[in-house]
Amino acid sequence: MINNKKSKSFFITFEGGEGTGKSTQAKILYDYLISNNIETVLTREPGGCEESEAIRQLLVKGSIDKWDNITEALLHSAARREHIKRVIQPSLLNNKVVICDRFTDSTMAYQGQGQGVNKQFLTKLIKEVTENIIPDLTFIFDMDIKKSLIRANKRDNNKNRYEKFNNDFHEKIRNYFLSLEKKNKRYILINASESIENISKIILNKLNKIIT
Protein backbone atom coordinates (compact mmCIF):
# COMPACT_ATOMS: atom_id res chain seq x y z
CA MET A 1 0.00 0.00 0.00
CA ILE A 2 1.27 3.46 -0.87
CA ASN A 3 2.44 5.48 2.14
CA ASN A 4 0.57 8.77 2.32
CA LYS A 5 1.91 10.00 5.65
CA LYS A 6 4.02 12.64 3.96
CA SER A 7 1.90 15.03 1.96
CA LYS A 8 3.79 15.67 -1.26
CA SER A 9 2.76 16.50 -4.80
CA PHE A 10 3.41 13.89 -7.47
CA PHE A 11 2.69 14.19 -11.20
CA ILE A 12 1.95 10.98 -13.12
CA THR A 13 1.21 10.82 -16.85
CA PHE A 14 -0.14 8.00 -19.00
CA GLU A 15 1.02 7.95 -22.63
CA GLY A 16 0.65 5.74 -25.67
CA GLY A 17 -1.23 5.25 -28.91
CA GLU A 18 -4.95 5.01 -29.52
CA GLY A 19 -6.78 2.13 -27.84
CA THR A 20 -3.93 1.03 -25.58
CA GLY A 21 -5.97 1.23 -22.37
CA LYS A 22 -4.40 4.33 -20.81
CA SER A 23 -7.66 5.88 -19.69
CA THR A 24 -8.86 2.67 -18.05
CA GLN A 25 -5.66 2.31 -16.04
CA ALA A 26 -5.57 6.00 -15.10
CA LYS A 27 -9.05 5.63 -13.58
CA ILE A 28 -8.09 2.41 -11.75
CA LEU A 29 -5.06 4.12 -10.22
CA TYR A 30 -7.11 7.18 -9.29
CA ASP A 31 -9.73 5.04 -7.53
CA TYR A 32 -7.00 3.16 -5.66
CA LEU A 33 -5.29 6.31 -4.40
CA ILE A 34 -8.58 7.92 -3.37
CA SER A 35 -9.55 4.75 -1.49
CA ASN A 36 -6.28 5.09 0.43
CA ASN A 37 -7.07 8.69 1.40
CA ILE A 38 -4.48 10.19 -0.93
CA GLU A 39 -5.67 13.47 -2.41
CA THR A 40 -5.62 12.83 -6.14
CA VAL A 41 -6.78 14.62 -9.28
CA LEU A 42 -7.60 12.68 -12.46
CA THR A 43 -7.49 14.73 -15.63
CA ARG A 44 -6.72 14.50 -19.34
CA GLU A 45 -5.34 16.28 -22.40
CA PRO A 46 -6.48 17.86 -24.49
CA GLY A 47 -9.08 18.93 -21.95
CA GLY A 48 -9.20 18.81 -18.19
CA CYS A 49 -11.09 22.04 -17.62
CA GLU A 50 -14.05 23.75 -19.29
CA GLU A 51 -11.93 25.99 -21.49
CA SER A 52 -9.61 23.20 -22.62
CA GLU A 53 -12.49 20.79 -23.23
CA ALA A 54 -13.92 23.33 -25.68
CA ILE A 55 -10.64 23.28 -27.60
CA ARG A 56 -10.61 19.47 -27.41
CA GLN A 57 -13.82 19.34 -29.40
CA LEU A 58 -12.15 21.35 -32.15
CA LEU A 59 -9.22 18.95 -32.22
CA VAL A 60 -10.84 15.51 -32.05
CA LYS A 61 -13.80 16.07 -34.36
CA GLY A 62 -13.79 16.26 -38.15
CA SER A 63 -11.51 15.16 -40.97
CA ILE A 64 -7.82 14.38 -40.55
CA ASP A 65 -6.82 17.35 -42.72
CA LYS A 66 -9.00 19.79 -40.78
CA TRP A 67 -6.03 21.78 -39.44
CA ASP A 68 -2.64 22.89 -40.63
CA ASN A 69 -0.10 20.91 -38.55
CA ILE A 70 1.35 23.96 -36.80
CA THR A 71 -2.14 25.31 -36.11
CA GLU A 72 -2.99 21.97 -34.53
CA ALA A 73 0.08 22.10 -32.31
CA LEU A 74 -0.83 25.62 -31.22
CA LEU A 75 -4.38 24.56 -30.36
CA HIS A 76 -3.02 21.73 -28.20
CA SER A 77 -0.73 24.23 -26.51
CA ALA A 78 -3.58 26.66 -25.85
CA ALA A 79 -5.61 23.89 -24.26
CA ARG A 80 -2.60 22.80 -22.21
CA ARG A 81 -1.89 26.30 -20.95
CA GLU A 82 -5.41 26.70 -19.55
CA HIS A 83 -5.28 23.17 -18.14
CA ILE A 84 -1.99 23.83 -16.35
CA LYS A 85 -3.03 27.19 -14.91
CA ARG A 86 -6.49 26.05 -13.80
CA VAL A 87 -5.94 22.41 -12.76
CA ILE A 88 -2.43 20.93 -12.79
CA GLN A 89 -0.39 23.72 -11.22
CA PRO A 90 -2.87 24.53 -8.40
CA SER A 91 -3.20 20.82 -7.57
CA LEU A 92 0.55 20.29 -7.37
CA LEU A 93 0.98 23.42 -5.25
CA ASN A 94 -1.60 21.92 -2.88
CA ASN A 95 0.47 18.72 -2.56
CA LYS A 96 -1.93 16.52 -4.49
CA VAL A 97 -1.17 13.61 -6.76
CA VAL A 98 -2.09 14.50 -10.35
CA ILE A 99 -2.82 11.73 -12.86
CA CYS A 100 -3.02 13.01 -16.43
CA ASP A 101 -4.13 10.97 -19.44
CA ARG A 102 -1.64 12.40 -22.02
CA PHE A 103 0.67 15.36 -21.65
CA THR A 104 3.63 16.87 -23.50
CA ASP A 105 5.02 13.53 -24.72
CA SER A 106 1.88 13.13 -26.81
CA THR A 107 2.54 16.48 -28.48
CA MET A 108 6.05 15.40 -29.43
CA ALA A 109 4.71 12.05 -30.66
CA TYR A 110 1.61 13.16 -32.55
CA GLN A 111 2.46 16.64 -33.79
CA GLY A 112 6.24 16.18 -33.92
CA GLN A 113 6.85 12.63 -35.08
CA GLY A 114 3.46 11.95 -36.66
CA GLN A 115 2.68 15.28 -38.32
CA GLY A 116 6.19 16.54 -38.90
CA VAL A 117 6.10 19.78 -36.90
CA ASN A 118 9.63 21.02 -36.15
CA LYS A 119 10.73 19.43 -32.87
CA GLN A 120 12.83 22.41 -31.77
CA PHE A 121 9.78 24.63 -32.20
CA LEU A 122 7.63 22.20 -30.19
CA THR A 123 10.24 21.88 -27.44
CA LYS A 124 10.44 25.65 -27.02
CA LEU A 125 6.64 25.98 -27.15
CA ILE A 126 6.18 23.26 -24.53
CA LYS A 127 8.75 24.86 -22.24
CA GLU A 128 6.99 28.23 -22.37
CA VAL A 129 3.49 26.81 -21.96
CA THR A 130 4.29 24.41 -19.10
CA GLU A 131 6.68 26.68 -17.20
CA ASN A 132 8.94 23.63 -16.98
CA ILE A 133 6.37 21.43 -15.23
CA ILE A 134 7.60 17.90 -15.93
CA PRO A 135 5.95 14.63 -14.83
CA ASP A 136 7.60 12.67 -12.03
CA LEU A 137 6.56 9.39 -13.62
CA THR A 138 5.27 8.43 -17.06
CA PHE A 139 3.77 5.09 -18.04
CA ILE A 140 4.11 4.31 -21.76
CA PHE A 141 1.43 1.90 -23.00
CA ASP A 142 2.57 -0.13 -25.98
CA MET A 143 0.93 -2.69 -28.22
CA ASP A 144 0.63 -3.66 -31.88
CA ILE A 145 -1.11 -0.79 -33.67
CA LYS A 146 -3.51 -3.00 -35.61
CA LYS A 147 -4.76 -4.50 -32.36
CA SER A 148 -4.92 -1.15 -30.58
CA LEU A 149 -6.89 0.48 -33.41
CA ILE A 150 -9.37 -2.41 -33.38
CA ARG A 151 -9.79 -1.77 -29.65
CA ALA A 152 -10.25 1.95 -30.28
CA ASN A 153 -12.91 1.32 -32.91
CA LYS A 154 -14.84 -0.89 -30.49
CA ARG A 155 -14.58 1.69 -27.73
CA ASP A 156 -17.29 3.97 -29.09
CA ASN A 157 -19.16 4.84 -32.25
CA ASN A 158 -17.80 8.37 -32.34
CA LYS A 159 -14.36 7.90 -33.86
CA ASN A 160 -11.94 10.73 -33.13
CA ARG A 161 -9.71 12.30 -35.79
CA TYR A 162 -6.53 10.63 -34.62
CA GLU A 163 -7.98 7.16 -34.99
CA LYS A 164 -8.63 7.96 -38.67
CA PHE A 165 -4.96 8.55 -39.53
CA ASN A 166 -3.24 5.79 -41.50
CA ASN A 167 -1.11 2.99 -40.05
CA ASP A 168 2.14 4.73 -40.99
CA PHE A 169 1.17 7.68 -38.78
CA HIS A 170 0.43 5.36 -35.85
CA GLU A 171 3.65 3.39 -36.35
CA LYS A 172 5.64 6.63 -36.15
CA ILE A 173 3.89 7.47 -32.89
CA ARG A 174 4.49 4.02 -31.46
CA ASN A 175 8.19 4.12 -32.36
CA TYR A 176 8.56 7.55 -30.77
CA PHE A 177 6.96 6.41 -27.53
CA LEU A 178 9.16 3.29 -27.48
CA SER A 179 12.27 5.45 -27.83
CA LEU A 180 11.47 7.37 -24.64
CA GLU A 181 12.18 4.49 -22.24
CA LYS A 182 15.93 4.78 -22.87
CA LYS A 183 16.01 8.58 -22.54
CA ASN A 184 14.90 9.07 -18.95
CA LYS A 185 14.25 6.95 -15.88
CA ARG A 186 10.81 8.49 -15.41
CA TYR A 187 9.50 6.45 -18.35
CA ILE A 188 8.14 2.98 -17.63
CA LEU A 189 7.09 0.79 -20.55
CA ILE A 190 3.87 -1.18 -20.14
CA ASN A 191 2.87 -4.12 -22.33
CA ALA A 192 -0.69 -3.03 -23.05
CA SER A 193 -1.60 -6.50 -24.35
CA GLU A 194 -1.61 -7.81 -20.78
CA SER A 195 -4.88 -8.14 -18.87
CA ILE A 196 -6.34 -5.11 -17.12
CA GLU A 197 -5.69 -6.76 -13.75
CA ASN A 198 -2.03 -7.54 -14.50
CA ILE A 199 -1.34 -4.05 -15.81
CA SER A 200 -2.86 -2.39 -12.75
CA LYS A 201 -0.68 -4.61 -10.50
CA ILE A 202 2.44 -3.65 -12.44
CA ILE A 203 1.59 0.05 -12.16
CA LEU A 204 0.98 -0.14 -8.42
CA ASN A 205 4.20 -2.11 -7.84
CA LYS A 206 6.23 0.45 -9.79
CA LEU A 207 4.55 3.34 -7.99
CA ASN A 208 5.08 1.79 -4.57
CA LYS A 209 8.81 1.42 -5.22
CA ILE A 210 9.10 5.06 -6.18
CA ILE A 211 6.98 7.02 -3.70
CA THR A 212 6.85 4.91 -0.53
Domain carrying residue 60: 10-211
Residue 5 belongs to a domain:
no
Residue 143 belongs to a domain:
yes
Residue 43 belongs to a domain:
yes
- What is the pLDDT, as a whole number, of residue 199? 97
Residue 1 belongs to a domain:
no
Residue 3 belongs to a domain:
no
- The angle formed by the CA atoms of residues 202, 109 and 162, to the nearest 5 degrees, is 95
Which domain CATH number covers 62? 3.40.50.300
Residue 152 belongs to a domain:
yes
SS3 99: strand
- Among candidates 47, 43, 49, which has minimal Cα distance to 13? 43
Q: Which residues of the chain are modeled with pLDDT < 50?
A: 1, 5
Peptide bond into 46 cis (omega under 30): yes
- CB–CB of 140/13 below 8 Å? no
How many domains, the chain?
1
Rounded CA separation 106/65 (Å) = 19
Residue 76 belongs to a domain:
yes
- CB–CB of 23/197 below 8 Å? no
- What is the pLDDT, as a whole number, of residue 58? 95
Residue 178 belongs to a domain:
yes
- CB–CB of 38/94 below 8 Å? no
Q: What is the pLDDT of residues 143-177, one digit of tens each?
A: 998 888 888 777 665 668 998 899 999 999 999 99
- What is the pLDDT, as a whole number, of residue 1? 46
- What is the pLDDT, as a whole number, of residue 72? 97
Question: pTM, whole model, 2 decimals?
Answer: 0.93
- Among candidates 163, 200, 170, 158, which has minimal Cα distance to 14? 200
